[in-house]
Structure 1
Amino acid sequence: MSSDDFIVDPLRDIEVHEHAKAFRRFLRWENSERVDPLALESVNEIWTVRGKMPFRLDVVSDAELPDDSGLTIYDGACIVVKIPRRIRHKAFMGDGYARYTIAHELGHAVLHIDQLMKGATLPRRRVGNVTPTWIPKFKSAEHQAVVFGGAFLINDDTARGLSSADEVSVQAGVSLTAARIYFEEMQEELARPAVAIRVQKIADEVREILSSNPVPPQTTFLNEVCSCCGQQKLFPVGHKFMCQVCDTVYDRFQDGDEVQ
């Protein structure tokens, strides 16, 4: 069975990223500045999320894959990534799209072994894969392979010292589109400490209010349970809310809440 996309086991982007880095470590390429995906032609075993599996990178005629830039299958004994001769030639010449195509298909090989062993064939369309609107990103085989491809080819330490997606594209030898996806993910990762600081600030503000205005014995609780501990012990503190049981602080609660 072949399709543009499949529903697969849910994975957050950061989890896909870590799987790609684990694959690099398996190949002993973790410190490589510029990965050569064609080196997989001499590899006969790869690491996957289900353990080590036999592997083969096949170069086939352009006529065999006229509409696809790559294809990943399981032939009953081995995971096979097929690339047409035109893609291999371009990857050999350093073309970013071609290099990324191979890494993209490796993402399917590493992440989606369950679907492959059930008969799925995972292609990369020349005109771009179409994902149905009912498949969320974190369950999309194509989205996961897109994230994997960039994480596999790009050295994190080097990329963090670069200032734009264009620089990432040139340094890692990937397409500008792939570099932009990776660069946006990297910026989000770097922003996480700022989010943590904002949450901590909210908690500190609530604790300061509580220290000057302790919770009275007859506390009025919201008609809602705490999403952390499940107890109906949420009470208002200024314009915020706090759980009396687990001390979880909420910046605001959903519209429609009523006080008993």
Structure 2
Amino acid sequence: MSDEDYRDVPRKNSEVRALAARVRSFFGVADAEHVDVLDCASRSEIWTVKGVKPLRLDTVSDDKMAGNAGLTSYDGRTIVIQISRRIRHDAFLGDGYARNTTAHELGHAVMHFEKLSAGAVMARRTSRNVTPKWISAYESAEHHARVFAPAFLINDAVARTLSSVDEISVRFGVSRQSAEIYFDQIQSEKDRAASADYVRRVADEVISSMSPKQSPLTFMSDCCSVCGQQTVFPVGHKFMCRTCDTIYDRFQDGDLAE
């Protein structure tokens, strides 16, 4: 199995973003506009799809990372995230790529514990991972993590008020590539919602056009014997006054109601 990418449980982008939101809540940053990703990665535990697991963040010298920006593995007891010294330094200064790399590895920890516990090492290449053609995007562990990272770093409610990729990138301290991924997904959701509204509106119009038209209410020429108004109309085999709601068993032609 290639360590560039792994085939994992199929997940929609919306499902991945929901997992990111849950982890934000676990770390107590659900409503935060700016997430301190290093602080989160330095916690002793993390929520995963397989329950809460021990977590450790290690900073490794750049030369020992061998072309990797980040690595996530499992030592039999603890999920271990490794980032290079340069990535940690840059993330501390707010660099989007470095912050994104750290969140990317948190995504592997959250979603891919089964693979990690089986010995897989999730590596984020500095030159970008290559996904084999036989792995679909929704099954790709790397795709999952790429979607997870911006969803974890971006406050969804605030982001939906912004109108461009650059605004999102600057506002939340994420790489432009991650901002593009997030922005495209939000736009797709808006387009689907607009399309669904249009279909519902057309369906309602069709149903309305097919519904039988109600005939206007026709009143009899005689007046109601109770209220004296000329508002008596037939209801099946009976008669009713619309003004006072009196109901008659019969109403003879030319006679007042009894």
* TM norm structure 2: 0.78
What is the deviation of 1:46? 0.5
Name the residue aligned to 2:60: 60
What is the deviation of 1:209? 6.6
Q: Map 1:116-127 to 2 at 5 A.
A: 116-127=116-127
What is the deviation of 1:206? 4.9
For structure 1, the residue ranges without an aligned partner over 5 or more in a row are 213-260
Rg comparison, structure with higher value: 2
Deviations 1:43-89 (A, max 9, x none): 10000011100001111111220210000000110001100111111
Name the residue aligned to 1:27: 27
Whether contact under 8 Å (2:27, 2:40) holds in the other structure is: no
For structure 2, the residue ranges without an aligned partner over 5 or more in a row are 213-258
Measure the CA separation in 2 of the matches of 1:47 and 1:41.
Answer: 12
Q: Which amino acid aligns with 2:81?
A: V
CA RMSD between the two structures: 1.5
Q: Map 1:1-260 to 2 at 5 A.
A: 3-40=3-40, 42-204=42-204, 206-207=206-207, 211=211
Whether contact under 8 Å (1:2, 1:121) holds in the other structure is: no
Aligned-partner SS, 1:123? strand
What is the deviation of 1:114? 0.7
Deviations 1:100-145 (A, max 9, x none): 0000011000000111011110000000011111111110101110
Whether contact under 8 Å (1:40, 1:57) holds in the other structure is: no
Q: Which amino acid aligns with 1:19?
A: L
Q: Which amino acid aligns with 2:93?
A: M
Measure the CA separation in 2 of the matches of 1:31 and 1:128.
Answer: 31
Whether contact under 8 Å (1:37, 1:99) holds in the other structure is: yes
What is the deviation of 1:189? 1.9
Measure the CA separation in 2 of the matches of 1:140 and 1:42.
Answer: 26
Distance change (3 Å), C-alpha of 1:162 and 1:34: same
Whether contact under 8 Å (1:46, 1:53) holds in the other structure is: yes
* TM norm structure 1: 0.78
